[in-house]
């Protein structure tokens, strides 16, 4: 599933060892908005996304099962209704065997072999949805996307077979832009407690899964205190007893897409570049919120440049007990990547690259993989030492468009790269 699991830690097992190998790149330009790649069974890979149809014929969602050598589709789903919303949804391989796809205002359950539609559900809210998690009992949970001033976000829970609603949808007091995260913890008498974390427009919200109900918890830290200076948070990364987020995410293109109905549809689209100046004055911030104490909120602005902005969430690599862990933050608009000591919240290294994507980390080998959209207009992959910030390898993906989509680890010293119009598979040997 997306981000390597419900905690969104984006960690991969094993090692990439990019500096001691040679990268081989396979890229296809398929004309689709490629959002994420997931593996179901060993070697069985799926790519899902939407069509970037901001104007013209109606958009639709899609999923493909692909050949890992040629990247050509072995099976393609029908055109999946999305309520005509143009936005990156999500796919996951469910433990029950099916492939699940949320796109726009629809959820689909697909056959894993031929990707035919087994069930279809129009979601209760006619807006773009982002993020799709499978809870411990197998039920699915998703949410619509709302910016500041657009009302409260709706959290919807569904059964994995017929996609019927489980309980009543929950409407939060705030809108929410970032994807949801989830975690299982032990409560009193070693009972399991499942939490859902939702980044709102002012606060982080935590929900408790209580039977068929979703209950708002009293853990509700405020991360946004100066509206004119700060933007909204994207997804949270739950790691080492903390919730890690970056603010300044509702950049101009995101605001434009979600201010129109259907989302992302016009007769004549506006400028949707994520390189436009930020609509706030503050620098990009990284925040650490204690999962046990909502008042313990620490922050750092590692770049200190006005008008920072991002289109993806941070990542955190825990330490080994005797040494601190490292949080990774960046500024897509102004450029810059930084490693931050998770104890002092002080930057320990800076790197002059311009990332925008959801990264991957290999804790065993201490490698971070993220993109760098260069001044020459290429979107490269860079492999970076988590400890020092040094570049261990650089790979030209062949893509000329950078966005905030997902990198996925293949498990065999390989990385899947998804972007608008291009899909790449990079293998080191």
- Residue 45 to residues 68, 177, 360, Cα–Cα distance (Å): 7, 28, 17
Per-residue pLDDT at 4: 84
Global confidence as pTM: 0.96
Per-residue pLDDT at 214: 97
Q: What is the pLDDT of residues 117-127, one digit of tens each?
A: 999 999 999 99
Separation of alpha carbons 409 and 415, rounded Å: 5
Separation of alpha carbons 176 and 128, rounded Å: 12
Per-residue pLDDT at 418: 97
Q: What is the pLDDT of residues 148-206, one digit of tens each?
A: 999 999 999 999 999 999 999 999 999 999 999 999 887 766 788 999 999 999 999 99
DSSP 8-state code for residue 7 = T
Instruction: Assign 226 a pLDDT band (cuts: 50, 70, 90).
Output: confident
Q: Is the pLDDT of residue 369 over 90?
A: yes
Mean pLDDT for the chain overall: 96
- Looking at the structure, give the CATH architecture of the domain made up of residues 2-428: 7 Propeller (2.130)
Q: Is the pLDDT of residue 227 over 90?
A: no
Separation of alpha carbons 209 and 216, rounded Å: 9
Q: Are 307 and 278 in contact (CB under 8 A)?
A: yes
Q: Are 82 and 61 in contact (CB under 8 A)?
A: yes
Q: What is the pLDDT of residues 283-327, one digit of tens each?
A: 999 999 999 999 999 999 999 999 999 999 999 999 987 889 999
All residues at 6 or more sequence positions from 113 whose CB lies less than 8 Å from its CB, including other chains: 65, 75
Q: What is the pLDDT of residues 52-107, one digit of tens each?
A: 999 999 999 999 999 999 999 999 999 999 999 999 999 999 999 999 999 999 99
Dihedral sign, CA of 107, 54, 406, 410? positive
The percentage of the chain sitting over the pLDDT mark of 90, rounded to a whole number, equals 94
Q: What is the domain partition of the chain in residue ranges?
A: 2-428
């Amino acid at each position: 599933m997306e981000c390597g699991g419900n905690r969104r830690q984006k960690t991969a097992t094993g090692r990439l060892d990019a500096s001691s190998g040679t990268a081989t790149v396979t890229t296809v330009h398929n004309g689709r908005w490629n959002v994420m790649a997931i593996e179901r069974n060993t070697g069985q890979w799926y790519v899902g996304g939407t069509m970037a149809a901001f104007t013209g014929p109606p958009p639709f969602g899609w999923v493909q099962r692909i050949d890992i050598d040629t990247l050509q589709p072995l099976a393609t789903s029908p055109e999946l209704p999305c309520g005509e919303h143009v936005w990156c949804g999500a796919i996951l391989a469910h433990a029950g065997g099916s492939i699940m796809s949320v796109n726009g205002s629809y959820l689909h359950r697909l056959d894993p072999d031929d990707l035919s539609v087994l069930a279809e559900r129009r979601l209760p809210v006619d807006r773009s949805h982002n993020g799709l998690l499978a809870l411990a009992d197998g039920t699915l949970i998703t949410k619509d996307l709302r910016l500041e001033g657009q009302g409260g976000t709706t959290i919807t829970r569904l059964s994995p077979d017929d996609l019927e609603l489980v309980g009543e949808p929950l409407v939060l007091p705030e809108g929410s832009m970032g994807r949801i995260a989830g975690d299982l913890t032990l409560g009193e008498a070693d009972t399991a407690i499942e939490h859902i974390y939702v980044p709102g427009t002012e606060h982080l919200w935590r929900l408790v899964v209580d039977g068929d109900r979703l209950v708002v918890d009293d853990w509700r830290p405020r991360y946004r205190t100066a509206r004119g200076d700060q933007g909204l948070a994207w997804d949270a990364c739950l790691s080492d007893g903390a919730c890690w987020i970056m603010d300044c995410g509702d950049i101009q293109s995101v605001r434009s897409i979600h201010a129109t109905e259907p989302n992302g549809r016009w007769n004549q689209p506006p400028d949707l570049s994520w390189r436009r100046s930020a609509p706030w004055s503050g620098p990009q911030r990284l925040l650490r919120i204690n999962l046990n104490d909502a008042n313990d909120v620490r922050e750092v602005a590692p770049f200190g440049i006005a008008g920072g902005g991002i289109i993806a969430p941070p990542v955190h690599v825990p330490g080994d007990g005797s040494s601190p862990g490292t949080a990774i933050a960046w500024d897509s608009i102004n450029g810059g990547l930084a490693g931050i000591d998770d104890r002092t919240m002080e930057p320990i290294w800076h790197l002059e690259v311009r990332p925008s994507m959801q990264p991957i980390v290999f804790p065993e080998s201490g490698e971070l993989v993220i993109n760098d959209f260069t001044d020459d207009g290429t979107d490269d992959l860079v492999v970076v030492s988590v400890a020092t910030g040094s570049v261990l390898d650089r790979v030209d993906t062949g893509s000329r468009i950078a966005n905030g989509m997902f990198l996925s680890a293949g498990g065999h010293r390989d990385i899947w790269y998804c972007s608008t119009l291009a899909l790449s598979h990079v293998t080191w040997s």
